[in-house]
A and B are shown apart, each in its own frame.
Chain A
Amino acid sequence: MSLDSVSLDVDLRALAGVPKTEVAQKAKDFKTDQEVRWCPGCGDYVILAAVQGFLPELGLRRENIVFVSGIGCSSRFPYYMNTFGLHSIHGRAPAIASGLAASRPDLSVWVVTGDGDALSIGGNHLIHALRRNVNLTILLFNNRIYGLTKGQYSPTSEIGKITKSTPMGSLDFPFNPVSVALGAEATFVARTIDSDRAHLTSVLRAAAAHEGTALVEIYQNCNIFNDGAFDSLKDPETRGQWLIPLEHDAPIRFGADGSLCVVRRDGDLCVVRTDSVDAAEVIVHDAEADNPSLAFALSRLPGQDLRYTPVGVFRSVRRPTYDRLMADQIAQAELTGDADLGALLRGQDTWTVRATASA
């Protein structure tokens, strides 16, 4: 099965308020003159190229696109995008981007973050951005390690991880970013992998089209401190058996010729051989279901070794966005209210002291 077939209606309602370019763009229009300073072989290069290659499709004016990031290797991303960019402080990009997007509906606002930035120091901002549903696209580069601080375990590292700060193995249980996002009332949650440009692009397209906060978890290889973290999902030997491409409205089958499938057993989802069950038993993916239960159950399929990792769009539902609701309230107030500054300052009870007054 092809991984580049994430098929959701792309109506770009999310970007309706953003001015369009009159001149066709190319990937190179989004490149800056800055030397890219990631380590050679870093997965970030692939993601950067995919984003630069994909943005011309949206046809937005470059000056109306803003990339906001926090701190970490991935957060250097804005420096390499020829748009407006803000490299902020650790963990706070979703908050900063929320203020920008809420006050400027004419901008396409992107957040680039990592597993440490988004899920450790910035966990609070991430979950609140997701529930608030401001029109933002959050790209979470998950390499399951701290790169910029040189190799400590991260909140997505598998338990028992041996690192510089955990010589006998890490003790804390990791987050599953997709589960976190779904639990945080996200309206759009997807996962993709740096090594599959076509799939990455298709997920970016769906995320850009989503009106509201879209979270895209991108498995990204750190070849210095956690090399091969996702090899089992990339290796042709295992990839077919371990990776589950999700397609909206399609039965969840994967592996060679769809030999494996997802079914429900005793209330839980599990993977079985397709020929061992009735076709009607195979779970049909519904990313647009109002209830996130199925998406959440899918997010729980993989174990710590990443076997049975679903990729693609887990959830994509419509809910009014914060920025739109905020703009509506202001429009309504402007329509019905009186913006008379003089009257505001005077208030209800005034008294006048005249020059001739004597007391």
Chain B
Amino acid sequence: MAKQVQQLDRVVIRFAGDSGDGMQLAGDQFTSETAVFGNDLSTLPNFPAEIRAPAGTLPGVSSFQLHFADHEITTPGDAPDVLVAMNPAALKANLPDLPAGRDIIVNSDEFSARNLAKVGYASNPLDNDALDSWRVHKVALTSMTIEALKDTGLGKKEAARAKNMFALGLLSWMYHRPTDGTLRFLEKKFAKLPQVAAANVAAFRAGWNYGETTESFGVSYEIKPAVMKPGVYRNISGNLALSYGLIAASRRSGLPLFLGAYPITPASDILHELSKHKAFGVRTFQAEDEIAGIGAALGAAFGGALAVTTTSGPGLALKSETIGLAVSLELPLVICDIQRGGPSTGLPTKTEQTDLLQAMFGRNGEAPVPIVAAQSPGDCFDAAIEAVRIALTYRTPVFLLSDGYLANGSEPWSIPDLDRLPQLTADFAVATDEPFLPYERDPETLARPWAVPGTAGLEHRIGGLEKADKTGEISYDPANHALMVGLRQSKVDRIAQSIPPLQVDDPSGVARVLVLGWGSTHGVIDAACHRVRRRGIPVAQLHLRHLNPFPADLGGLLRSYDRVVLPELNLGQLALLLRARYLVDVIGINQVSGMPFRAADLEDSLWDILQGVDT
């Protein structure tokens, strides 16, 4: 029977199951297939902080959403077109997000009385009219997987574990995904367990063949590759791009990379990734705590390494004192804060932009620290290099802000041309005939010399006590303290001179409202602005890379608009800074739910605000 093939321009799929069902793996693989096929894509993994919450319960549900299209997209999609639900809990937890009329592919084997009871279903929703508003495809995923693997020698329980690959095979068939990558991946992942590798491959193929032969699925879909700028592409997550950015910066500067870190969600993957790259001379130091992580990094910075520490909100709180010391020592240090929901332990696996003020002010004394923010998974690469540039040029600790959404989300990434990466220089101090002055400053940048141990004639002693101008000796002199406070602030302020002019996106050229953003909200703000423009109201869009210091032209630019609207995943942290600095009446759109904005919600909020503006 020849099956119908339908053309689509975009699809949002959500895989949902138990934490142990392998949904993240299935989602990742589907993403890889989609990336290689050439669609534009954006992903949103969403999982509980618990490693294995009680099986079959609502808190244990893990999901992976993927939006892919034949055109440029910037968000993981507001609502799924297809929900793959591996059990009743996954169905119940995700159904509220699924608009009527969309598809549900459900593993009917798991709808036992016991599993239904666990999530409070009085009767089986597959047997009554509860799902009448949707197109339900009941698939006996578990039993068909076991059946397909009956000759592999695996027990039923082991065989059933490959059901995520059956589901992946079915979805791969439905959307005409290339499968070579997945087959290669499975062979490699289970290279030491050939029986398991064979079982997963068999389950994947069985899922594909099921789609091909069953009458339950009469239609398959094609989503043509997206038109993208010429180049070589790969799929990349934010934490991976950030890690690569640091390695590239190490290579460009000629400085060995040293990471001092303590594991913390969602930053740990950077430690994992960098620990693999010892061939690049990367030293990773898993410290006893967050404080030792940054302490070791600062020690390495004193020794002339490209020093980095990685953390998330609670860890950043612990690092505060050492960051203050780095400010005082004026040594290069990159502090990567992969923000998550707070306060306190908060929501380890969810995303927020709530650490901006902690990065800005979370220290004693006048202790300015530059802040750079990444705006998309791939952009974490460029943001890391920019953070290193500022740290090395100005001899200062620098914050690199990412968040859980960027860290785990992924997108196609145009692999950069190595020769076009910024040149970074270390520029260690050398001895001269003059006595060495550790706090003598570069007249342009106000940076002090980076005098590393092992250089004869540069022996010097410095610390967290206030230092005399130029000599760096201990000084309690009031005038000197005022001078040094001013110098440290001026040095950070001068970074603004090295920031290129801001580029506002305003296709109309006449917009009176500026939609401003920073960090991971770029994609969704972009989508919301497009939608508002399509509805006939011109808006300008600007996304900030540098949050401290602000770009020199920001104030004038903000004042040139009638209204400035600022969506943030916090209660208005950047808005507070902008209002204080520029006396501009910034209008916030704020959400602190642990989840990214949805484009439709943001569009509505923007629309409401625009109604009150004479455009």
A interacts with B: yes
For residue B296, CB closer than 8 A to chain A, the reply is yes
Question: Quick check: A68 and B455 within 8 Å, CB to CB?
Answer: no
For residue B416, CB closer than 8 A to chain A, the reply is yes
- Collect the chain B residues with CB atoms within 8 Å of residue A125's CB: 288, 291-292, 295
Question: Quick check: A99 and B453 within 8 Å, CB to CB?
Answer: no
B-contact 0/1 string along A24-35, CB 8 Å cutoff: 000000001010
Chain A's closest residue to B224 (CB) is A359
Question: Quick check: A341 and B225 within 8 Å, CB to CB?
Answer: no
User: How many B residues touch A, CB cutoff 8 Å?
Assistant: 75
Known contacts A81-B461, A104-B453; A345/B299 CB under 8 A? no
B-contact 0/1 string along A72-101, CB 8 Å cutoff: 000000110111111111001001111111
The CA-CA distance from A102 to B35 in the complex, in Å, is 40
Known contacts A86-B302, A89-B321, A341-B418; A96/B295 CB under 8 A? yes
The CA-CA distance from A351 to B415 in the complex, in Å, is 10
Can you pick out 13 interface pairs between chain A and chain B where the beta carbons lie within 8 Å of each other? A34-B461, A63-B456, A83-B459, A88-B298, A95-B291, A96-B295, A103-B300, A330-B278, A337-B279, A348-B184, A349-B234, A350-B233, A354-B230
Question: Quick check: A78 and B461 within 8 Å, CB to CB?
Answer: yes
Q: Which 10 residue pairs spanning A and B have beta carbons closest together?
A: A87-B463, A99-B296, A337-B279, A99-B299, A95-B295, A85-B461, A333-B278, A100-B299, A95-B292, A128-B288
For residue A257, CB closer than 8 A to chain B, the reply is no
A-contact 0/1 string along B314-345, CB 8 Å cutoff: 00000001101100010000000000000000
For residue A166, CB closer than 8 A to chain B, the reply is no
From residue B334, how far is it (CB to closest CB) to chain A in Å? 14
Question: Quick check: B281 and A82 within 8 Å, CB to CB?
Answer: no
Residue of A67, A88, A106 most packed against chain B (CB within 10 A): A88
Contact of B36 among A82, A124, A349 (CB under 8 A): A349
Q: Which of A42-68 contact B (CB under 8 A)?
A: 61-68
- Collect the chain A residues with CB atoms within 8 Å of residue B280's CB: 339, 341, 344
Chain A's closest residue to B281 (CB) is A330
Contact of A63 among B296, B324, B325, B457 (CB under 8 A): B457
Contact of A352 among B232, B248, B307, B418 (CB under 8 A): B232
The CA-CA distance from A34 to B468 in the complex, in Å, is 13
For residue A353, CB closer than 8 A to chain B, the reply is yes
Main SS of chain A's interface residues?
Answer: mixed
Chain B's closest residue to A104 (CB) is B303
- Collect the chain B residues with CB atoms within 8 Å of residue A71's CB: 464
For residue A259, CB closer than 8 A to chain B, the reply is no
Residue of A102, A351, A358, A359 most packed against chain B (CB within 10 A): A351
- Collect the chain B residues with CB atoms within 8 Å of residue A334's CB: 278-279, 281
Question: Quick check: A107 and B230 within 8 Å, CB to CB?
Answer: no
The CA-CA distance from A103 to B260 in the complex, in Å, is 11
Known contacts A78-B463, A125-B288; A99/B244 CB under 8 A? no
User: How many A residues touch B, CB cutoff 8 Å?
Assistant: 67
- Collect the chain A residues with CB atoms within 8 Å of residue B277's CB: 333, 344
Contact of B303 among A107, A338, A339, A355 (CB under 8 A): A107
From residue A52, how far is it (CB to closest CB) to chain B in Å? 14
- Collect the chain A residues with CB atoms within 8 Å of residue B184's CB: 348
The CA-CA distance from A336 to B276 in the complex, in Å, is 13
The CA-CA distance from A255 to B22 in the complex, in Å, is 71
- Collect the chain B residues with CB atoms within 8 Å of residue A99's CB: 258, 260, 285, 295-300, 303, 307
From residue A189, how far is it (CB to closest CB) to chain B in Å? 19
Question: Quick check: A87 and B292 within 8 Å, CB to CB?
Answer: no
- Collect the chain B residues with CB atoms within 8 Å of residue A86's CB: 299, 302, 329, 461-463
- Collect the chain B residues with CB atoms within 8 Å of residue A88's CB: 295, 298, 325, 463-464
The CA-CA distance from A326 to B305 in the complex, in Å, is 15
Contact of B462 among A87, A107, A354 (CB under 8 A): A87
For residue B103, CB closer than 8 A to chain A, the reply is no
- Collect the chain B residues with CB atoms within 8 Å of residue A32's CB: 461
A-contact 0/1 string along B266-307, CB 8 Å cutoff: 000000000001111111010111011001111110111101
Contact of A103 among B38, B283, B457, B464 (CB under 8 A): B283
Knowing that A333-B279, A341-B247 touch, tell me 19 more A-B residue pairs with CB under 8 angstroms.
A65-B453, A78-B461, A86-B299, A86-B462, A86-B463, A95-B296, A96-B302, A99-B307, A100-B299, A102-B283, A103-B305, A334-B279, A342-B418, A345-B416, A349-B32, A349-B235, A350-B36, A352-B231, A359-B226
A-contact 0/1 string along B400-428, CB 8 Å cutoff: 00000000000000011010000000000
